[in-house]
Structure 1
Amino acid sequence: MTQPQPSLLQLPPFPDIWKYGMLALSILLLLVAFIILMCQLYRCRKDSKFGEGMFQRTLWIKKIQKELKKLGICFSPLANSHSMDNLCSGMDAPDRSQGRLRFSLLYNKERLELLLTVTEALGLPSQGCTNTFVKVRLLSWSSSQSPHLQHIVHEWQTRVAKHSRSPAFGDQFACTLPEADLTKSSIKLQVKHFDRYSRHMPLGEVRIVLNALNTSEKTEFCEELQKATKDTVGEVLVSLKCLPISQRIEVGLLKVKTAFLHNSPEKRIYARIDVFSHLHNQKHQKSKAKTLASTTIFNETFLFYLPEPVAWDCAVLISIYELHPSSKQLVGQAVLGKRGPNNMNDHWHHMMQSIQQPVAKWHPLLI
Structure 2
Amino acid sequence: MVAAQTALKDMRINAEKDKTRLVLDLSNEVRYKILTLNNPNRLVVDLYGARKTNKIKSSTKGNGLIDTIRVAKNTPAKLRVVIETKQVVLYKVNMLKASQKRDSRLVIDLKGMYEGSQKVVASAINNSKMIIAVDPGHGGKDPGATGKKIKEKDLVLKISKRLANLINTEPDMTAILTRNDDSFPCPNNNRSCGQKSSLNERLEIAKRAGAVLFISIHANSFRDQRIRGAEIYALPDSAKFKKDEHWKAMYHNKQSKSRIKLINVTSGKQIKNVTASEVIAFDQSLQISDKIIQELRKVIRVRKSSRQAAFIVLGSNDMASVLIETSYLTNPEDEKILINPINQQKIAEAILKGVKKYTRESRQQVTK
Q: What is the TM-score normalised by the length of structure 2? A: 0.22
Higher helix fraction: Structure 1 or Structure 2?
Answer: 2
Structure with max Cα Rg = 1
Higher strand fraction: Structure 1 or Structure 2?
Answer: 1
Q: What is the TM-score normalised by the length of structure 1? A: 0.22
